[in-house]
Structure 1
Amino acid sequence: MDPDPAEHRACKQRVSVLFTRRVLLKAPHFTPERKPRMAEPFLGEIRMFGGNFAPTGWAFCNGQILSIAQNQALFSLLGTTYGGNGQTTFALPDLRGRVPMHWGSGPGLTTRTLGEAAGTETVTLLQTQMPTHTHAATASAQPGNSTEPTGTFWAAAVDGNSQQVSAYGTQPSTTLNPQAIGIAGGNQPHNNMQPYLCVTFIIALQGIYPSRN
């Protein structure tokens, strides 16, 4: 008796499905290649970047002047906080030679405003900034043997007959000329830089417009 044609076709389909499943289970697993990309930033977001260029959609934080007409959304966030005339231009933050710091105030902190730039790379100390101190004067209790002050120091005074003269007291009543004691120091500014590493700061010219809480 010949098998039913319909049943024969169904049997062949079941065998084909089972064979396909076995092949797929034994085959290596592949996933489609995905191109890496940075998460979409907020418009105006600042990031550090290890390269020496600004990626597409970003700009260096170097204080450059931009057109308001061409960057209206970004201008609505930055305004003239970092420069520009506010009519046709505005500026990006300039982080060249600067350490970013959060603005605001707090206990024990000085108040800082957004966009404020301060500090200096070198500092020359003023007299009012120096700790109170004294300078020792070198002297000798032996009789003096020279009338020339250059290259010598104070000694016990003597008269023309080689007799010692009382030239010292225990209570000060006057002040010597400041030039009586040599000047020290070079009046040069000292370095005021913390240890640093230069990287690239970039700001997003395109991205998600941030919503306010």
Structure 2
Amino acid sequence: MASVSQGLVDKSSMVLIGIYGQGTNSMDNSVEKYSIVPYAGKFPQPVEYNTAIHGMQQANIETLLRLLQGFPNFDIKAYIDEKLGGMAGANIPRGLIAMWNGVSVPDGWALCNGQIVEDLQTPDLSGKFIVGWSSGNEDYNLIGNTGGQEKVTLSTQEIPSHVHNFADAYFIEAHSDLVGANGTQWIGNNLSGSNKTDRDNSYVCLWDHDTRAAGGGQPHENRPPYYVLAYIIKL
């Protein structure tokens, strides 16, 4: 066995870090056998029981057994899970925003609903889309800018240029031909006064027309297809 003097370990001796016997695997409650594992270099190397026990005094093994009996029952799986859970968010920067498909917000995160949590002002992203930052666009060159509308009512200037077709009435020009008794046109000479009058093309008439009004002026849907997730922020 290794000897310890004034806090120093005699490296010429063999250091035991395990002992042969039976125990319960805390992960699946199965019964397993263990062997003595001596320290040999950087990593421990398992050695068969008969080899490891060779040259050792029985008193040393009994001493080690008494020491091991003083350790409490230890759940290795629970310990590893706890450490891994702590490492999961160790490298996530504060203020990182992610999308969450769950009902409850995970520990160490907060919902992005405008509240202040642990001195962190969360952005209010309720019912909003996210747009990427862009230095060349004044709408998108400042973090926290907002804009857009869920529904839009178009104005006249926003409607594309177009024409409307409509039917116009045509009126026959007035005339005053002399007509005979049987409906035939009267033709004669040396008549007193004018025998025909025609006002065609004598005047220029301008007619203003309006088409019938159509449409209800209601706003239309202005959003693309969507799927709802929750935005959460790292505390």
1:140-155 paired onto structure 2 within 5 Å:
154-155=169-170
Q: Radius of gyration: which is bigger?
A: 2
1:51 pairs with one of 97, 102, 105? 102
Root-mean-square deviation (Å): 3.6
The verdict on how the C-alpha distance between 1:155 and 1:49 changes in structure 2, with shifts beyond 3 A counting, is: same
1:187 corresponds in structure 2 to 217
Structure 1: how far apart are the matches of 2:221 and 2:199?
49
1:92-111 paired onto structure 2 within 5 Å:
92-106=122-136, 109-111=137-139
1:17 pairs with one of 39, 51, 57? 51
Structure 2: how far apart are the matches of 1:65 and 1:166?
85
2:153 corresponds in structure 1 to 124
SS in 1 for 2:233: strand
Structure 1: how far apart are the matches of 2:94 and 2:48?
57
Which amino acid in 2 is paired with 1:130? I
1:176 corresponds in structure 2 to 208
Count of matched residue pairs: 136
2:114 corresponds in structure 1 to 63
Structure 1: how far apart are the matches of 2:94 and 2:231?
15
Contact 1:156 1:167 in 2 (8 A): no
Structure 2: how far apart are the matches of 1:49 and 1:166?
82
**Which is worse superposed, 50-59 or 97-106?**
97-106
1:201 corresponds in structure 2 to 231
Structure 1: how far apart are the matches of 2:200 and 2:138?
55
The verdict on how the C-alpha distance between 1:195 and 1:181 changes in structure 2, with shifts beyond 3 A counting, is: same
Structure 1: how far apart are the matches of 2:49 and 2:146?
77
TM-score of the two chains, using structure 2 as the length reference: 0.48
What is the CA-CA distance between 1:39 and the residue it aligns to? 3.5
Structure 2: how far apart are the matches of 1:190 and 1:104?
28
Tell me the alpha carbon deviations over residues 7-59 of structure 1, each in whole angstroms, 9 at most, x when there is no partner: xxxxxx977239xxxxxxxxxxxx95753643432111111111022111211
What is the CA-CA distance between 1:131 and the residue it aligns to? 1.2
The percentage of counterpart residues that share the same residue type is: 31
Higher relative contact order (CA 8 A, sep 6+): 1
What is the CA-CA distance between 1:121 and the residue it aligns to? 0.3
What is the CA-CA distance between 1:183 and the residue it aligns to? 1.2
- Structure 1 unaligned residues grouped into runs of 5+: 1-12, 19-30, 75-90, 140-153, 206-213
TM-score of the two chains, using structure 1 as the length reference: 0.52
